[in-house]
Amino acid sequence: MLIYLIGMPASGKSTFGKLVAQKLNYTFLDLDTLIEEDNNSTIPKIFDTKGEDFFRKLEQNALQFTFNLDKTIIATGGGTPCFFDNLDKMKENGIVCFIHIEIKTLVKRTFQAQQRKQNSRPLFKDSTSFEELYQLVSQKWTDRKEFYQKADFEIKNNDLNEFLEKLNAKQ
């Protein structure tokens, strides 16, 4: 079985995915990391040099690769379910869980990462203040929520027990 985690940047897909993989004895795969390794580059560099459209095609190809796997939990990129037919394909090939975290928390985490100079999120790199970042993240949420909310189920606050109960109900 394949499990896909979707959600806004900084919602904890990578962190929570590793925890779930340990619990279920699944392999963990991070789609962003897979793209970086396959292209011998970083996501900010790919955005800078080739642009977002090019990145979205790499992302679609990387997602396609995961459909051949089994017993794997995949942390997707924040935008993965919002492009092409990626979300339908994930639902056809696995179970999709939306990690729903409130905007205030997402902004705090992203702001802290930026202050530590961990600028790994090209979509938000131009924000110069907390308020500006808040606006950008809120706008992304408005644009994307209709995709995230089509997941097979959603969890709040990265709660492992809630995740396992809802996963069982879907199997």
Ligand X SMILES: O=C(O)C1=C[C@@H](O)[C@@H](O)[C@H](O)C1
Residue 77 binding ligand X, by CB under 6 A: yes
List contacts with ligand ATP (CB under 6 A).
7, 9-15, 32, 75, 78, 109, 113, 121, 158
Query: What tokens appear for 148 in the block?
Result: 């995230």
Smallest distance, Å, CB 109 to ligand ATP?
4
Q: What, of Mg ion, ligand ATP, ligand X, none, does residue 81 touch, CB below 5 to 8 Å by kind?
A: none
Q: Give 76's DSSP letter.
A: P
Q: For strands 2-6 and 27-30, give the pairing.
A: unpaired
CB of 15 or CB of 71, closer to ligand X? 15
Which position among 3, 10, 29, 43 is part of the footprint of ligand X (CB under 6 A)? 43
15 residue type, one letter: T
CA angle 107, 61, 136 (to 5 degrees): 20
Which of these, 52, 59, 68, lies nearest to 87 by C-alpha position?
59
Q: For strands 153-156 and 95-100, give the pairing.
A: parallel
Q: What, of ligand ATP, ligand X, Mg ion, none, does residue 94 touch, CB below 5 to 8 Å by kind?
A: none
The site map against Mg ion for 14-53 (x = CB under 5 A) is x---------------------------------------
Smallest distance, Å, CB 16 to ligand ATP?
6
How many angstroms separate the most distant Cα atoms in the chain? 45
Taking phi over 0 as left and psi of -120 to 50 as alpha, with beta for the rest, 101 belongs to beta
**Stretch of 7-15, 62-70, 103-111, 147-155 contacting Mg ion, by CB under 5 A:** 7-15
Residues that bind Mg ion (CB under 5 A): 14
